Chains A and B, each alone.
Chain A
């Protein structure tokens, strides 16, 4: 691979010679794509330069946990570049003929992963506000500025209905009955939130996909699951994953308030109870993909360790959804009582 990468970069970078990949290491940190870090040196117009890249490519089909499209991800990265902080997309092997698999070459970020950053501190400081800013940075991109490859849902109500139906559909498609999914669908339908405009959503907005930059702002990674949806799905998804991998930055009082300031949403549209609603709704895409992996394993169609491993996350989710429904019902009952008073 180092030789292929060197040849690829020599062809793509303007005015460089003597390209050498001095270090090439496979990275952990993602379950879905092949990741590698490459340290590279070259001469540009006679001057030595040193760069570090991250390669993000498709695994072989029989080792692919979820199926997403690198061309789509490349489009999304360009749509959010300059608005959200991301690892800059530099080059793309759109066919895999150069790098052996369809792969995006990203600028390596020296920022620190959010989880270890938090683990080393007693206080998360202003990270809740930084999280609100990170979310708002792409939730406020006008839909007309997004590439045509991102599907536009016809209406908010239709979109929400389709998301709720996805719970039922996931049960129907699974290898065994999954009554939690049908219960959640019935519950979500009975407790619909006030609508907001649909926007670009990240789709995997969790601490593992975030880095903390030198100035404390968040860099967002892994845009392969981005789509147009309800922006509160990202907030709920962050909260959901934070239950297993704390801290939950959405819990801080300033989070919702700052997010509302930046997006223009009102308090009925974004508040802690609404975020809890989306803690449930927002995870269905991931739940569906995890169950598809488990089902494929059960049918003998794959042999991926991660497919088995991730089933525990789904079961953890069952417990979390039940707790969130209980808390939200209590919040709604309390609000009703206040209204009556």
Chain B
């Protein structure tokens, strides 16, 4: 496999070609909007291609740490058990995504346990995890442009 240019670099090259070669030739408004949507989607895909496996791994470990305080709660324990059924050493995207999905459920149940206990510190810890996730998401979204609206 030729690994350079990297996947994100390839995608950014495609976006640039759409901008410089394709868009200037399109006069049909719905088609222009479609191409602009494609560009935004591709930019997001480029960021994900570069980072998503690392980001998902990091978040899974952070969630596990935050959930430890409620590991005796049956709902949280069940979700942690489901997460532990999956092999953390597998690096195929589908495998990492499956673990990330289960870790998300662990986080949700930890949030609910923290609110049920009215535990402000624990609520704050789960909030920090979501803020971390949101920071990654905003790197993926970039500048949100609602093309074609209004």
Contact = CB atoms under 8 A, between A and B. Distances in A.
A100 to B, nearest CB: 18
Contacts of A315: 134, 137-138, 140-141
A211 to B, nearest CB: 10
Contact of A306 (B37, B100, B115, B130): B37
Interface residues of A, number: 36
Interface string A9-27: 0000000000000000010
Contact of B130 (A183, A245, A309): A183
Contacts of B141: 312, 315-316
A316 B150 contact: no
B150 A115 contact: yes
B24 interface: no
A245 B111 contact: no
B85 to A, nearest CB: 15
Contact of B34 (A181, A183, A244, A305): A305
Nearest to B147: A309
Interface string A108-134: 000001111000000000000000000
A179 B34 contact: no
A176 B52 CA distance: 15
B33 A28 contact: yes
B35 to A, nearest CB: 10
Contact of A28 (B127, B134, B148): B148
Contact of B146 (A179, A313, A322): A313
B105 interface: yes
B150 A313 contact: no
A54 B112 CA distance: 48
A131 to B, nearest CB: 15
Contacts of A29: 148-150
B107 interface: yes
B104 A114 contact: no
| Contact count band on B | 35 or more
Contacts of B112: 182, 186
Interface string A165-184: 00000010000111111110
Interface of B: 29-30, 33-34, 37-38, 40-41, 44, 97, 100-105, 107-108, 111-112, 115, 126-127, 130-131, 133-134, 137-138, 140-141, 144, 146, 148-150
Contacts of A171: 108
B96 to A, nearest CB: 12
Contact of B41 (A116, A182, A245, A305): A305
A244 B149 CA distance: 11
B14 to A, nearest CB: 15
Interface string A25-37: 0101101000000
22 contacts: A29-B148, A31-B148, A115-B149, A176-B100, A177-B102, A177-B107, A179-B104, A179-B105, A179-B108, A181-B108, A182-B111, A186-B112, A186-B115, A190-B115, A207-B150, A305-B37, A305-B38, A305-B41, A312-B141, A312-B144, A315-B141, A322-B131
Contact of B134 (A114, A115, A178, A318): A318
B66 to A, nearest CB: 11
Interface in A194-211: 207-208
A176 B37 contact: no
A331 to B, nearest CB: 17
Contacts of B97: 176
Contacts of A186: 111-112, 115
A322 B127 contact: yes
A29 B44 CA distance: 23
A268 interface: no
B38 to A, nearest CB: 7
Contact of A180 (B41, B101, B130, B150): B130
Contacts of A316: 138, 141, 144
A7 interface: no
Contacts of B150: 29, 113-116, 207-208, 245
